[in-house]
């Protein structure tokens, strides 16, 4: 008796542990523990792919029970009957909507209950009818939609072919009568008084051409990066001080944004001075001995004391280590007779030519 007693105690302990584990698993799976349950019959019309006994039952997204029974509907080849067991406090009503949801990456199906306002009926187990197509997954829905599209295209293939042919004939007719259509549009514009906006007229800033003989050359590699400027000067429009509109300038514009235009004309002016040692754009080379940095201060037409083209450029010579070697402010103005784009462009070119000449002389002396 003394030898067998420990075995009986160990066996009883093992059995108790197994029962406790099964009870814990049952509690986890049933969410509501061992409390009171209510059972409901659910009818599905169509397949319920992947639905198994033990699958979760959700009410408004919260797990309240599980599927306890599955079977084919007698006398209905397309029907499936299921029995669900849920916590008794779940507010299932006669009009509660029933469907299937596919959760997770693997698409595990669960029975989803939602809403309902009517009072649940007493008596036999209520029967809930699932929504039509409740068991249809996204993949199956896509397949059915594609089948319908293919069916529509097949049934209307001749009509579609005729429509495409008509479009082809119509486009060919438009191509043959382009000139006539232009005339019709022009006639409509004359009748209605609506005209297309006038075309833009582009003006170029002239570089310094006659620089005289090169008294000194720059024997190192150097560059003029694109000048900096405030946002107002990043434009192709003619700017006025004070700001106002003048006839003829609405259609007038510079050939490029002012910083890029000034960069191009400065490089051209240095090339006219000494093309063998002319500066490059910063994007053209990786490293240079020095750079000529330009900041555009002014590039405008002043009209208060007679029209005049005013240009102000701040220049700095910076070595390859970023040290400022020298700096200077270049300012020039040129008056002109009437406020018209051609005269303004000629005045800007004259003022820019003097600035370019001074800048060349200053740069070659600094370096």
321, two tokens: 């280590």
Which of 85, 107, 134 delimits the end of a domain? 134
Work out how many domains the chain is built from and give that number: 2
Strands 37-45 and 127-129: parallel
Q: Is 6 exposed, middle or buried (0-12, 13-18, 19+ CB in 10 A)?
A: exposed
Instruction: Determine, yes or no, domain membership for 17.
Output: no
Would you say residue 196 lies in a domain?
A: no
Question: What pLDDT shows up at residue 16?
Answer: 78
Q: Which helix (H) or strand (E) holds 71?
A: strand 62-72
Q: Estimate to the nearest angstrom the gap between the alpha carbon of 321 and the chain centroid.
A: 40
Q: State the DSSP H helix or E strand holding residue 216, giving kind and residue range, or none if neither.
A: none
Most confident of 81-95, 177-191, 242-256: 242-256
Residue 152 in domain: no
pLDDT at 238: 95
* Residue range 24-70, pLDDT digits in tens: 656 555 544 556 788 888 888 877 777 888 888 888 888 888 888 88
Q: Indicate whether 195 belongs to any domain.
A: no
Residue 98 belongs to what domain range?
36-116+123-134
108, 134, 160: which is the final residue of a domain? Answer: 134
Q: Which of 106-120, 282-296, 343-357 has the lowest mean pLDDT?
A: 106-120
Is the pLDDT assigned to residue 177 strictly greater than 90?
A: no
Q: CATH number, domain at 52? A: 2.40.30
Which of these, 99, 96, 98, lies nearest to 119 by C-alpha position? Answer: 96
What is the predicted pLDDT for the residue at 191? 74
Domain at 354, CATH number: 3.40.50.10610
Query: Is residue 96 assigned to a domain?
Result: yes
Q: Please, which contacts does 193-199 make with residues 24 or more away whose CB atoms are closer than 8 Å?
A: 198/251, 199/251
Count CA within 13 A, CB hemisphere, residue 92. Answer: 28
Are 130 and 222 within one domain?
no
pLDDT one-digit tens code per residue, 238-270: 999 998 888 889 899 999 999 999 999 999 999
- Judged against a pLDDT cut of 70, whether residue 284 lies above it is answered with no
Asked whether residue 111 falls in the same domain as residue 210, the answer is: no
Residue 163 inside a domain? The answer is: no
Buried b (16+ CB within 10 A) or exposed e, 264-301: bbbbbbbebbbeebbbeeeeeeeebebbbbbbbbbbbb
3-state secondary structure of 143: helix
Q: Are 102 and 52 in contact (CB under 8 A)?
A: no
User: Could you identify the residue written with the tokens 């051209």?
Assistant: 268
pLDDT in tens, 9-33: 767 777 877 877 766 656 555 544 5
Residue finishing a domain among 88, 108, 134: 134
The pLDDT value given to residue 32 = 47
Residue 178 lies in a domain: no
Task: Give CA–CA dist 203/261, Å, rounded.
Answer: 11
Kindly list the distances between the CA atom of residue 81 and the CA atoms of 19, 206, 251, in Å, as whole numbers in the listed order.
32, 90, 78
Maximum CA pair distance of the chain? 132
Q: Is residue 76, in this structure, part of any structural domain at all?
A: yes
* Paired strand residues for 70: 82
Contact 315, 170 (CB under 8 A): no
């Amino acid at each position: 008796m003394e030898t067998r007693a420990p075995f009986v105690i160990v066996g009883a302990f093992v059995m108790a542990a197994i029962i406790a584990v099964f009870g814990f698993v049952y509690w986890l799976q049933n969410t509501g523990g061992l409390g009171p349950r209510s059972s409901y019959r659910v009818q599905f019309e169509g397949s319920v792919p992947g639905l198994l006994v033990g699958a979760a039952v959700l009410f408004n997204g919260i797990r309240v029970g599980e599927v306890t029974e599955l079977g084919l509907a007698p006398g209905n080849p397309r029907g499936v009957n299921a029995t669900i067991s849920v916590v008794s406090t779940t507010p299932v009503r006669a009009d509660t909507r029933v469907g299937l949801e596919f959760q997770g990456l693997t698409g595990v199906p669960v029975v989803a209950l939602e809403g309902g306002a009517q009072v649940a009926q007493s008596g036999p187990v209520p029967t809930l009818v699932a929504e039509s197509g409740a068991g249809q997954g996204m993949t199956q829905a896509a397949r059915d939609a594609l089948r319908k599209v293919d069916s529509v295209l097949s049934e209307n293939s001749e009509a579609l072919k005729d429509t495409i042919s008509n479009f082809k004939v119509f486009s060919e007719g438009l191509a043959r009568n382009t000139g006539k259509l232009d005339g019709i549009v022009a006639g409509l514009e004359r009748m209605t008084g609506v005209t297309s906006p006038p075309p833009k007229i582009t003006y170029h800033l002239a570089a310094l051409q006659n620089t005289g003989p090169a008294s000194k050359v720059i024997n190192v590699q150097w560059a003029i990066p694109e000048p900096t400027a405030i946002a107002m000067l990043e434009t192709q429009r003619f700017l006025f001080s004070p700001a106002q509109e003048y006839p003829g300038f609405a259609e007038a514009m510079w050939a490029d944004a002012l910083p890029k235009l000034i960069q191009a004309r400065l490089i051209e002016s240095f090339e006219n001075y000494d093309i063998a040692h002319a500066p490059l754009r910063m994007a053209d080379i990786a490293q240079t001995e020095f750079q000529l940095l330009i900041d555009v201060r002014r590039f405008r037409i002043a009209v208060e004391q007679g029209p005049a083209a005013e240009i102000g450029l701040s220049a700095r010579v910076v070595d390859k280590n970023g040290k400022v070697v020298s700096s200077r402010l270049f300012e020039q103005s040129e008056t002109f007779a009437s406020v018209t784009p051609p005269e303004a462009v000629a005045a800007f070119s004259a003022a820019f030519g003097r600035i370019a000449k001074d800048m060349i002389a200053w740069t070659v002396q600094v370096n």
